[in-house]
Structure 1
Amino acid sequence: MARDVQITFDCADPEALATFWADALGYELQGPPPGFASWEQALDAFGVPRERHNDAHAVVDPAGNRPRLFFQRVPEGKTVKNRVHLDVRAAPGLAGEERMAALEKEAERLVGRGATRLERHEPAPPMAGGHIVMADPEGNEFCLD
Protein backbone atom coordinates (compact mmCIF):
# COMPACT_ATOMS: atom_id res chain seq x y z
CA MET A 1 0.00 0.00 0.00
CA ALA A 2 1.44 3.38 -1.01
CA ARG A 3 1.54 6.04 1.70
CA ASP A 4 1.95 9.79 1.72
CA VAL A 5 5.03 11.13 3.50
CA GLN A 6 5.86 14.31 5.33
CA ILE A 7 9.48 15.43 5.69
CA THR A 8 10.25 16.85 9.14
CA PHE A 9 13.09 19.23 10.00
CA ASP A 10 14.24 19.74 13.59
CA CYS A 11 15.38 23.36 13.84
CA ALA A 12 15.84 26.46 15.98
CA ASP A 13 13.61 28.86 13.99
CA PRO A 14 10.73 27.04 12.26
CA GLU A 15 9.24 30.14 10.62
CA ALA A 16 12.52 31.27 9.06
CA LEU A 17 13.43 27.78 7.83
CA ALA A 18 9.93 27.18 6.46
CA THR A 19 10.12 30.48 4.58
CA PHE A 20 13.53 29.53 3.10
CA TRP A 21 12.33 26.11 1.91
CA ALA A 22 9.06 27.49 0.54
CA ASP A 23 11.12 29.82 -1.65
CA ALA A 24 13.68 27.14 -2.58
CA LEU A 25 11.05 24.64 -3.71
CA GLY A 26 8.23 26.85 -4.99
CA TYR A 27 6.06 25.80 -2.03
CA GLU A 28 3.85 28.05 0.08
CA LEU A 29 3.46 28.44 3.82
CA GLN A 30 0.57 26.30 5.00
CA GLY A 31 -2.45 28.45 5.76
CA PRO A 32 -4.28 28.56 9.08
CA PRO A 33 -7.14 26.19 9.93
CA PRO A 34 -10.59 26.99 8.49
CA GLY A 35 -12.32 29.85 10.28
CA PHE A 36 -9.11 31.76 11.06
CA ALA A 37 -7.59 34.62 9.08
CA SER A 38 -4.05 33.93 10.38
CA TRP A 39 -2.03 31.43 12.38
CA GLU A 40 -1.60 34.08 15.09
CA GLN A 41 -5.38 34.32 15.43
CA ALA A 42 -5.74 30.51 15.51
CA LEU A 43 -2.95 29.97 18.04
CA ASP A 44 -4.36 32.69 20.31
CA ALA A 45 -7.81 31.04 20.10
CA PHE A 46 -6.24 27.66 20.96
CA GLY A 47 -4.60 29.20 24.05
CA VAL A 48 -1.03 28.78 22.79
CA PRO A 49 1.24 31.26 24.62
CA ARG A 50 2.86 33.88 22.36
CA GLU A 51 6.37 32.56 23.11
CA ARG A 52 5.29 29.20 21.59
CA HIS A 53 3.87 30.60 18.32
CA ASN A 54 7.08 29.72 16.44
CA ASP A 55 7.29 26.13 17.72
CA ALA A 56 6.20 24.71 14.35
CA HIS A 57 5.50 25.73 10.76
CA ALA A 58 4.77 23.82 7.58
CA VAL A 59 5.02 24.39 3.85
CA VAL A 60 2.99 22.70 1.14
CA ASP A 61 3.13 22.21 -2.60
CA PRO A 62 0.52 24.57 -4.10
CA ALA A 63 -0.47 21.82 -6.58
CA GLY A 64 -0.79 19.28 -3.77
CA ASN A 65 1.47 16.72 -5.44
CA ARG A 66 4.71 16.84 -3.45
CA PRO A 67 5.22 16.06 0.24
CA ARG A 68 4.49 18.53 3.01
CA LEU A 69 7.56 19.82 4.88
CA PHE A 70 7.16 20.30 8.63
CA PHE A 71 9.55 22.36 10.78
CA GLN A 72 9.61 21.85 14.54
CA ARG A 73 11.60 23.71 17.15
CA VAL A 74 14.03 21.58 19.15
CA PRO A 75 16.33 22.74 21.95
CA GLU A 76 19.55 21.20 20.61
CA GLY A 77 21.50 22.47 17.63
CA LYS A 78 22.65 20.45 14.63
CA THR A 79 25.90 18.65 15.43
CA VAL A 80 26.65 16.18 12.62
CA LYS A 81 26.14 15.68 8.89
CA ASN A 82 22.63 14.75 7.78
CA ARG A 83 22.11 11.04 7.10
CA VAL A 84 19.15 11.93 4.87
CA HIS A 85 19.01 15.04 2.72
CA LEU A 86 16.94 16.62 -0.02
CA ASP A 87 18.12 16.71 -3.63
CA VAL A 88 16.61 19.81 -5.21
CA ARG A 89 16.19 19.04 -8.91
CA ALA A 90 17.33 22.40 -10.29
CA ALA A 91 18.52 21.20 -13.73
CA PRO A 92 16.38 18.25 -14.86
CA GLY A 93 17.14 17.09 -18.37
CA LEU A 94 20.27 19.22 -18.70
CA ALA A 95 23.84 17.93 -19.08
CA GLY A 96 27.41 19.20 -19.07
CA GLU A 97 28.08 22.94 -19.05
CA GLU A 98 24.40 23.82 -19.46
CA ARG A 99 23.52 21.74 -16.38
CA MET A 100 26.27 23.20 -14.24
CA ALA A 101 25.37 26.75 -15.32
CA ALA A 102 21.75 26.15 -14.22
CA LEU A 103 22.94 24.73 -10.89
CA GLU A 104 25.28 27.70 -10.37
CA LYS A 105 22.42 30.14 -11.05
CA GLU A 106 20.18 28.42 -8.49
CA ALA A 107 23.03 28.19 -5.96
CA GLU A 108 23.58 31.95 -6.27
CA ARG A 109 19.85 32.63 -5.80
CA LEU A 110 19.66 30.46 -2.68
CA VAL A 111 22.82 31.97 -1.18
CA GLY A 112 21.04 35.31 -1.50
CA ARG A 113 18.26 33.85 0.63
CA GLY A 114 20.50 32.50 3.39
CA ALA A 115 21.91 29.21 2.10
CA THR A 116 25.62 28.38 2.18
CA ARG A 117 27.49 26.84 -0.73
CA LEU A 118 29.62 23.89 0.43
CA GLU A 119 31.04 21.95 -2.55
CA ARG A 120 30.81 21.64 -6.32
CA HIS A 121 31.09 18.18 -7.85
CA GLU A 122 31.96 18.19 -11.55
CA PRO A 123 30.18 15.93 -14.01
CA ALA A 124 31.73 12.46 -14.31
CA PRO A 125 29.85 10.71 -17.13
CA PRO A 126 28.27 8.30 -17.54
CA MET A 127 27.09 7.97 -13.93
CA ALA A 128 27.39 11.44 -12.38
CA GLY A 129 25.93 14.55 -13.98
CA GLY A 130 27.51 16.94 -11.47
CA HIS A 131 25.90 18.64 -8.48
CA ILE A 132 26.42 21.36 -5.86
CA VAL A 133 26.23 20.64 -2.12
CA MET A 134 24.57 23.42 -0.15
CA ALA A 135 23.37 24.03 3.42
CA ASP A 136 20.14 25.75 4.41
CA PRO A 137 20.23 28.67 6.90
CA GLU A 138 20.46 26.23 9.86
CA GLY A 139 23.20 24.08 8.32
CA ASN A 140 21.11 21.18 6.94
CA GLU A 141 22.87 19.85 3.86
CA PHE A 142 21.05 19.49 0.55
CA CYS A 143 22.14 19.07 -3.05
CA LEU A 144 21.30 21.01 -6.14
CA ASP A 145 21.02 18.20 -8.64
Structure 2
Amino acid sequence: MATLRKLQITFDCAQPERLARFWCEVLGYVVPPMPEGFDTWADYDRSLPPEQQGAWFACTDPSGVGPRLFFQRVPEGKTAKNRVHIDVRAGTGLVGEERLATLEAERDRLVALGAVCERVMVADEENESCIVMQDIEGNEFCLD
Protein backbone atom coordinates (compact mmCIF):
# COMPACT_ATOMS: atom_id res chain seq x y z
CA MET A 1 0.00 0.00 0.00
CA ALA A 2 1.34 3.45 -0.93
CA THR A 3 2.14 6.00 1.76
CA LEU A 4 -0.11 9.06 1.74
CA ARG A 5 1.94 12.22 1.40
CA LYS A 6 1.09 15.88 1.80
CA LEU A 7 1.48 17.98 -1.34
CA GLN A 8 3.12 21.41 -1.54
CA ILE A 9 3.27 23.47 -4.72
CA THR A 10 6.28 25.81 -4.92
CA PHE A 11 6.47 28.97 -6.99
CA ASP A 12 9.74 30.67 -7.92
CA CYS A 13 8.99 34.38 -7.89
CA ALA A 14 10.24 37.92 -7.33
CA GLN A 15 7.92 38.97 -4.47
CA PRO A 16 6.93 35.96 -2.33
CA GLU A 17 4.58 37.67 0.11
CA ARG A 18 2.77 39.66 -2.56
CA LEU A 19 2.24 36.56 -4.73
CA ALA A 20 1.18 34.42 -1.74
CA ARG A 21 -1.41 36.99 -0.69
CA PHE A 22 -2.73 37.11 -4.28
CA TRP A 23 -3.22 33.32 -4.25
CA CYS A 24 -4.87 33.53 -0.81
CA GLU A 25 -7.49 35.78 -2.41
CA VAL A 26 -7.87 33.54 -5.47
CA LEU A 27 -8.31 30.30 -3.54
CA GLY A 28 -9.68 31.38 -0.16
CA TYR A 29 -6.41 30.27 1.44
CA VAL A 30 -4.93 31.81 4.58
CA VAL A 31 -1.50 32.85 5.79
CA PRO A 32 -0.26 30.35 8.42
CA PRO A 33 0.10 31.49 12.04
CA MET A 34 3.26 33.41 12.89
CA PRO A 35 6.15 31.55 14.50
CA GLU A 36 6.00 31.58 18.29
CA GLY A 37 7.32 34.78 19.83
CA PHE A 38 6.28 37.07 16.95
CA ASP A 39 3.17 39.25 16.64
CA THR A 40 3.32 39.62 12.85
CA TRP A 41 5.06 38.07 9.87
CA ALA A 42 6.80 41.42 9.36
CA ASP A 43 8.28 41.15 12.87
CA TYR A 44 9.49 37.63 12.08
CA ASP A 45 10.95 38.75 8.75
CA ARG A 46 12.88 41.60 10.41
CA SER A 47 14.45 39.06 12.80
CA LEU A 48 16.13 37.23 9.90
CA PRO A 49 19.52 38.09 8.40
CA PRO A 50 19.12 40.72 5.66
CA GLU A 51 19.75 38.24 2.82
CA GLN A 52 16.89 36.03 4.08
CA GLN A 53 14.33 38.80 4.62
CA GLY A 54 11.44 38.48 2.19
CA ALA A 55 12.92 35.28 0.75
CA TRP A 56 9.80 33.15 1.14
CA PHE A 57 6.14 33.13 2.13
CA ALA A 58 3.42 30.47 2.23
CA CYS A 59 -0.33 30.06 2.32
CA THR A 60 -2.54 27.15 3.27
CA ASP A 61 -6.03 25.80 2.74
CA PRO A 62 -7.92 26.58 5.97
CA SER A 63 -9.79 23.26 5.63
CA GLY A 64 -6.49 21.36 5.45
CA VAL A 65 -7.57 19.57 2.26
CA GLY A 66 -5.72 21.49 -0.45
CA PRO A 67 -1.96 21.65 -0.89
CA ARG A 68 0.22 24.22 0.84
CA LEU A 69 1.52 26.87 -1.57
CA PHE A 70 5.12 27.99 -1.01
CA PHE A 71 6.64 31.04 -2.71
CA GLN A 72 10.41 31.48 -2.87
CA ARG A 73 12.32 34.45 -4.17
CA VAL A 74 14.70 33.72 -7.03
CA PRO A 75 16.94 36.19 -8.86
CA GLU A 76 15.86 35.33 -12.40
CA GLY A 77 12.52 36.29 -13.92
CA LYS A 78 10.05 34.03 -15.69
CA THR A 79 11.16 33.47 -19.29
CA ALA A 80 8.89 30.78 -20.77
CA LYS A 81 5.50 29.12 -20.44
CA ASN A 82 4.95 27.19 -17.21
CA ARG A 83 5.55 23.44 -17.47
CA VAL A 84 2.98 22.94 -14.70
CA HIS A 85 0.04 25.19 -13.95
CA ILE A 86 -2.86 25.41 -11.52
CA ASP A 87 -6.44 24.89 -12.66
CA VAL A 88 -8.84 26.87 -10.49
CA ARG A 89 -12.01 24.77 -10.66
CA ALA A 90 -14.58 27.60 -10.61
CA GLY A 91 -17.06 25.96 -13.02
CA THR A 92 -17.12 22.36 -11.82
CA GLY A 93 -20.39 20.66 -12.75
CA LEU A 94 -21.61 23.55 -14.89
CA VAL A 95 -22.04 23.45 -18.66
CA GLY A 96 -22.77 25.78 -21.53
CA GLU A 97 -23.72 29.40 -20.91
CA GLU A 98 -24.04 28.92 -17.14
CA ARG A 99 -20.45 27.66 -16.96
CA LEU A 100 -19.10 30.44 -19.17
CA ALA A 101 -20.93 33.12 -17.14
CA THR A 102 -19.54 31.69 -13.89
CA LEU A 103 -16.00 31.59 -15.30
CA GLU A 104 -16.28 35.14 -16.64
CA ALA A 105 -17.49 36.42 -13.25
CA GLU A 106 -14.51 34.75 -11.56
CA ARG A 107 -12.19 36.15 -14.25
CA ASP A 108 -13.47 39.66 -13.53
CA ARG A 109 -12.89 39.19 -9.78
CA LEU A 110 -9.33 38.01 -10.38
CA VAL A 111 -8.54 40.78 -12.88
CA ALA A 112 -9.51 43.26 -10.14
CA LEU A 113 -6.84 41.56 -7.96
CA GLY A 114 -4.19 42.08 -10.66
CA ALA A 115 -4.52 38.90 -12.76
CA VAL A 116 -4.47 39.11 -16.55
CA CYS A 117 -6.88 37.31 -18.86
CA GLU A 118 -4.94 35.71 -21.72
CA ARG A 119 -7.85 34.17 -23.60
CA VAL A 120 -11.35 32.79 -23.27
CA MET A 121 -11.75 29.34 -24.77
CA VAL A 122 -15.44 28.86 -25.55
CA ALA A 123 -16.96 25.37 -25.48
CA ASP A 124 -16.86 23.27 -28.63
CA GLU A 125 -17.91 19.72 -29.51
CA GLU A 126 -15.17 18.22 -27.32
CA ASN A 127 -14.38 20.64 -24.47
CA GLU A 128 -16.23 22.88 -22.06
CA SER A 129 -15.28 26.54 -21.73
CA CYS A 130 -12.20 27.61 -19.79
CA ILE A 131 -10.25 30.82 -19.38
CA VAL A 132 -6.45 31.07 -19.51
CA MET A 133 -5.11 33.61 -17.02
CA GLN A 134 -1.82 34.94 -15.62
CA ASP A 135 -1.20 35.75 -11.97
CA ILE A 136 0.47 38.98 -10.87
CA GLU A 137 3.94 37.66 -11.81
CA GLY A 138 2.90 36.18 -15.17
CA ASN A 139 2.43 32.53 -14.14
CA GLU A 140 -0.24 30.91 -16.25
CA PHE A 141 -3.29 29.27 -14.67
CA CYS A 142 -6.72 28.27 -15.94
CA LEU A 143 -10.22 28.96 -14.74
CA ASP A 144 -11.86 25.64 -15.42
TM-score interval (norm. to shorter): over 0.9
Partner in structure 1 of residue 113 of structure 2: 113
| Cα separation, 1, equivalents of 2:141 and 2:100 | 16
Partner in structure 1 of residue 104 of structure 2: 104
- 1:74 has 2:40 as partner: no
Q: SS where residue 66 of structure 1 aligns?
A: coil
Partner in structure 1 of residue 11 of structure 2: 9
Report runs of 4+ in structure 1 exceeding 3 Å deviation. none
| Cα separation, 2, equivalents of 1:9 and 1:75 | 13
Q: Following TM superposition, by how much is the alpha carbon of 1:34 offset from its aligned partner in structure 2, in angstroms? A: 2.6
**% same residue:** 54
Give TM-score scaled by structure 2 length.
0.92
Report if aligned partners of 1:40, 1:53 keep a CA contact under 8 Å in 2: no
Report if aligned partners of 2:45, 2:54 keep a CA contact under 8 Å in 1: no
Note the alpha carbon deviations across 1:30-73, whole angstroms, 9 max, x for none: 2211332222333444x432x64211000001111110000000
* Structure 2 unaligned residues grouped into runs of 5+: none
| Cα separation, 1, equivalents of 2:46 and 2:105 | 41
| Cα separation, 1, equivalents of 2:15 and 2:40 | 19
Q: SS where residue 132 of structure 1 aligns?
A: strand
Q: Following TM superposition, by how much is the alpha carbon of 1:103 offset from its aligned partner in structure 2, in angstroms? A: 0.3
- 1:140 has 2:139 as partner: yes
Q: Figure out how many residues of one structure are paired with residues of the other and give that number.
A: 142
Q: Following TM superposition, by how much is the alpha carbon of 1:130 offset from its aligned partner in structure 2, in angstroms? A: 1.1
Q: SS where residue 28 of structure 1 aligns?
A: coil
* Structure 1 unaligned residues grouped into runs of 5+: none
Note the alpha carbon deviations across 1:6-49, whole angstroms, 9 max, x for none: 0000000011100110000000112211332222333444x432
